Structure 1
Amino acid sequence: MRRSIGWRAERRSSTGLRHADTSVRPRRRPDSTIGFCLIIPGLTHLTFATFAVGFLVRPIGGVVMGRYADRAGRVKALSWIMLAMSVGSLLLGLTPGSATLGLAAPILVVIGRLAQGFAVGAQFALSSVTIYELAPPDKKMFYGSFNMLSLGIAAMLSSGQNCCIHRS
């Protein structure tokens, strides 16, 4: 149950970021054209590519950490996964803008997204198996559904949060 709650919190922040990125209101650029200005005007595709790299490494995280968990144990693997997610989130949160670091800032953001994507891909697979194995024999499927349920709850919470933010 605790692993599902942690997963829900991570999915809520990730889904909230997706909603925020896609619902940025258009604003006028100096050349009088309408465009979405997320990070650098005119480079919206790079913003979404930075977000997408986290999804591309998820299967790799599941395979690599799944093999590690089979050898070293699931609890040890989940501890490394939590560390990777923490480092990735810390890197995203503490990276200053490109005005301060120049080209190093977007590179650090991409590295943070890679670490987060790797960790999320590994965590979902391992936590689902761990929850299923530790559940009572007559409630394995019920307990095993908590991870998938947390995805829906995260999507609803982030959609509601996005609606409240952009309503004003």
Structure 2
Amino acid sequence: MTLTNSKERLTNKTSSCVIQPTILEYNGSIFEYSAYKPTMRFLRDFDSIFPQLSSRQKAQLLVVPVIQKCEHDMVGLSKEVNDERDIKLELFISWGRRVVDRIKSVGMWADMMDPASGFPIFSHPGSSPYPDVQGTVMLDSRFDVQNVG
């Protein structure tokens, strides 16, 4: 999920955490989110993901990685894993829409990425999907994740 904040500038050379990791429960599912002011290198990739963003919007951009607790290893192929994956996706989309709607209601730009495709849900998609696993690791090195699909 991404949003903009007018008080941030593009002057930093490392991603800075502006909202520390926070745990919340939504409809019985545990989420963790945080917010980061991305580096210039990170932002360069956004040109092909969100080509419609203005320079001002990019200068104000915050990136919000969202992690959801799962009971199963999501790389599995069993019925239980598929069912949990579907439920977690629906919960993420439901929660994310509420967050995006709230941010937009105060006059800020916001969007969220479809975890299945990597493309924006609300904006016109660019030529590249957002690499959520790589993006999360670039923003917060405490995660040891692997992209298996």
Q: Same fold (TM over 0.5)?
A: no
More strand per residue: 1 or 2?
2
Normalising to structure 1: TM-score of the pair? 0.27
| Higher RCO, 1 vs 2 (CA within 8 Å, ≥6 residues apart) | 1
The structure with the greater share of residues assigned to helix is: 1
Q: TM-score, normalised by structure 2?
A: 0.30
